[in-house]
Structure 1
Amino acid sequence: MPRPQRSEQFDPGEVCIVHVVQRCVRRAFLAGVDRDSGKDYSFRKEWIRRRMEALASVFAVDVLSYAVMSNHMHQILRNRPDVCCQWSDQEVAIRWLRVFPGRRLEEHLAEPTENDVQALVRDKERLAEIRRRLADISWFMRALAEPIARMANKQDDCTGRFWEGRFKCQRIVDEAGLLACSMYVDLNPVRAAMAESPEQTPHTSVYDRAKARQGAKLASAAFDLRPTPTDEAGRKIRDTPVDEIRQERKQKQRNPTGRMIRRDGWLSPLTLSTDKLSDEPEVHTGGLRSSDKGFLNMSWKDYWELLCWTARQSAEKLNPRVPASLRKTLQTLGIDLSMWRDLVWNWQRYFGNSVCVGRPESIKQHAAKTGHHHHRGQAAVRSCFAPG
C-alpha cells in the first residue's frame, strides 16, 4: 500500500501534531560511527540539533520532542498557523529571508536588509504563500534536511543523497498517543542500547530538559530577526574586504544573537498551562520558538519519573507493576497499565506501519474524517488501551 498523501496526514492551515522520522540513505551510520570505515561522524548530530533549534526560531512549528540517532532522527512537531497569523508582514518577511535569502548581487553578504524585507512585504500574493509555508511541516523538514546533506557531502567530498527519501510521518490524534510517542522518542537511545538511562542520552529532548533543570545553558542558534540597515549593508560592501565579511559571517553563525539560553529554551514547554484557554496561541516573544504552549497535562516531575521507570523495564528486568503515583495519569488517558511498557518498548509492533497514533477510537475518527473506513494498525493497538 502506498504512503498516504501529506494532505491526508496534516494541513498547514490547522494545528496538527505529527511524529516524523527521517532516515539516512541505506540506513548508513552517517551521523555515528561508520561500521565499514570506522570513522566517527557523531558530531553531525549537533549539526542537526542546532539546525533544528535555528528553524524553531523562525517557523511557526513547535518542536515537542526529538532524538537524533546514528542513522535516523525522530521529531514530534506541532505546526502553528494560529501563531503565524499573529505575526506582522515584516516579521513574516524577515523570518523567511533568514532561511531562504535567495540570490543576491552580493552573495558574500547574504544578510537580509531592510530594503529586502520591504520589497517582500509589498508583494502581497507571495507574502501570503510564505505565511502558509512558515506553518508547513514539509517546508520545515525541507529547510532542515537539505543544508545538512550539503554540509555532509562537502565534508566527504562527494555528491548524492544523504537522506533516503521523503520523511515518514504519523499523525498523533490524542493525548494518550502523544504521551506514548514522546516516551518512545525520548527513549530511542536506551532502546537501541546506546545508553542505560535518559540522563546519558545527548541529542534528545529529554536530555536537554533534564540538563536545563540543573542550570545548563548553551549558545543560542536562533536566527537574528533584525534586518540589516540598508545603508550599513552598503558601507560594508564598499569598505570591507570580502574575506573579512565571510569570516565575520562564520563567527556569527555560531551564535547569531550573542545570547546564552537555557538548554531547552528552544523546545516547546512540556506542561500545558492550566490558566490558559485551549485555543490561545500563546505566542513566544523571545525569539527562540514560535509559542509558549505546552503539550501534556502532566508535570515534568511526573513525566521524568514515568520515563525513568519505563527505561528500566528491559526484558531482563521486567516489573510490569506501574508505580502507584503514576497509575492515575495512565488510567485517565485510557492506557492499559499492564501494556504500557510493551507499548513503548515495542512501538514498531503497534504503530510501525500506522499513519496514525492514538487510541483506537481516535484513529477510527481520523480515518472517517479523511474518507477511510479504517487506518492500518488500528486493530493492533486495541490491546494496549482500555475500552472507550
Structure 2
Amino acid sequence: MPTARNQLVSLQDTPFYHCISRCVRRSFLCGVDAYTGINYEHRRGWVEKRLLALSGAFAIEICAFAVMSNHTHVVLHVNTQQAAAWSTLEVLTRWHRLFAGTEVTRRYCDDEQRDNLASVELHLVERKAELYRTRLADLSWFMRSLNEHIAREANKEDECTGRFWEGRFKSQALLDEQALLACMAYVDLNPIRSGTASTPEQSDFTSIQMRIRAALQGKQPEALKPFDSSELGLHALPCHLNDYLELVEFTGRVIRDDKIGTIPASCGHLLQRLDIDLESWMELSEGFEYQFCHLAGRLHSLQHCRQTDGMHRIRGSGSAKRLFGA
C-alpha cells in the first residue's frame, strides 16, 4: 500500500522536496509521438508556464525544474512563514489567480463591496481565507494544481478523457544542503543525460537555462528561489550562484564527454565544502532519484528523521553513507 502523503511531507524535518510526475498514456505525451509523428513539444511550454504561475501564487518557491518529454522534475521550497504573514486580502487575491473562490470571497476582494459585507459574511470570508492559506502552502495542492490543469488541456487537445499523469507524484524530502544541491543538479542536468541537449544553456524548459540567461545580465530569475547573496542571507539557496552554475556546467561536460578532465577550482571548493568527493558527485548527478526513496540526505539526517518520526528503518541509508559520508 502506498505511503500516505502526510507521512512523506514533514515540514518539521525540511521545507525542501523533489517531486516527479510521469505520463501514462504513451511514451511521449509532451514531445514527438513516435507512433503518429505528431509533435507535442508545445505542451512542455504549458507545464513551464503553469509551474511559474503557481509559484507566483503559492507560498512555494521553485529551486529547480526540468520538463522532459514524458515526465517532469521540480525541486520546491515550502515557505510557511510567507503564508502566515499574508493578510486575508492577500490570501484571497492569490487564490483567485488560480481558482474561482466563492461569491462572498470575490465580493470581499472588490474594494467597493467589501464594506457592505455583513458580519456573518466577514466571518465566512475569514474561515475561507484560512482554508486557502493552508492550501497555498501545501505541496500536494501545488502538484495537484499543476498536473490537473495540464491533464485538462491535453485531454481537450486530444479530444479524449482519462489520465494524463500517473495517479500519484513521487516525492523525496531533501533533508540537508548536500541533498538539496545534489538533487537540484540532477534535475538541471536531465536534458544532458537524456541526450536532448548538449549544454545547460541549450536545455529548454529548465531552471538552469533560466538562471544562465539571467546571469548573463547580472540578475537572478524572479520566478526562481535565488542563490545566496549578502542581501538575502537565510532566504536564499545555500551557495553562490556562479559556483553552482560552474559546477553544473562542469558536470554536464563530464556526462556528455564521458571524461572528467581537470576540475575547476571553484567546483572543487564547493564539493569540498559539501564534503562530497567527485566520484560520488557524479553518481548523484546521474542517478539521485534512484539512490534514495522518500528521504534523502546525509546519514545523520536520515537517522534524525527516524528518531523524530518514529520510523523503524529508512531506505537509502546505504547510499547516504556511501555518497555523503556520515
Q: Is the 8 A contact 1:68 1:204 kept in 2?
A: yes
Whole-angstrom distance in 2 between the partners of 1:116 and 1:203: 42
- Contact 2:296 2:320 (8 Å CA) reproduced: no
The CA distance in 2 between the partners of 1:311 and 1:66, in whole Å, is: 16
Distance 2:220 2:278 in 1: 33
**Correspondence for 1:43:** 42
Correspondence list, 1:148-297, <5 A: 148-215=150-217, 264-271=221-228, 273-274=229-230, 278=234, 293-296=235-238
2:30 is aligned with 1:31: yes
**Equivalent residue letter for 1:9:** L
Structure 1 residue 198, shift from structure 2 partner? 0.5
Aligned counterparts of 1:116 and 1:143: Cα–Cα separation in 2: 29
Query: In the TM superposition, what is the alpha-carbon distance from 1:12 to its structure 2 partner?
Result: 6.3
- 1:323 is aligned to 264
Change (3 A) 1:373 1:267: same
Q: Tell me the TM-score normalized by structure 2.
A: 0.89
Query: In structure 1, how many angstroms separate the alpha carbons of the residues matched to 2:12 and 2:136?
Result: 11
1:348 deviates by: 4.2
CA deviation map 1:132-181 (0-9, x unaligned): 11110111111111111111111111111111111100000000000100
d(CA) in 2 for partners of 1:384, 1:142? 33
Matched, 1:371 2:310: yes
Counterpart amino acid of 1:299? H
Q: Is 1:306 aligned with 2:263?
A: no
Correspondence for 1:345: 286
- Tell me, in whole angstroms, the C-alpha distance in 2 between the residues paired with 1:121 and 1:33: 51
- Give secondary structure in 2 for the equivalent of 1:169: strand
Q: Is the 8 A contact 1:25 1:165 kept in 2?
A: no
2: CA distance, partners of 1:9 / 1:103: 31
For structure 1, list consecutive stretches of 5 or more residues without a partner in the other structure.
217-261, 279-292
Q: For residues 72 and 115 of structure 1, do their structure 2 counterparts lie closer, same or farther at Cα, with a shift above 3 Å needed?
A: farther
2:276 corresponds to: 335
C-alpha distance after superposition, 1:52-77 (max 9, x if no partner) = 11111111001111000000000001
Counterpart CA distance in 1 for 2:215 and 2:175 is 30
Identity of aligned residues (%): 38
Deviation (angstroms), 1:372 = 0.8
Taking structure 1 as the reference length, what is the TM-score of the superposition? 0.75
In terms of fraction of residues, the more helix-rich structure is 2
How far does the alpha carbon of each residue in 1:222-271 deviate from its partner, in whole angstroms, 9 at most, with x for none? xxxxxxxxxxxxxxxxxxxxxxxxxxxxxxxxxxxxxxxx8822111122
- RMSD over aligned CA atoms reads 2.8
- CA distance in 2 between counterparts of 1:344 and 1:158 reads 38
- State the Cα deviation string for residues 324-372 of structure 1 (Å, max 9, x = none): 3322221222213332112211324422xx1111112212211222211
Structure 2: which 5+ runs fail to align?
none
Shift of the 117–184 alpha-carbon distance from structure 1 to 2, 3 Å rule, reads farther
1:56 alignment partner in structure 2: 55
Q: How much does 1:81 deviate?
A: 1.2
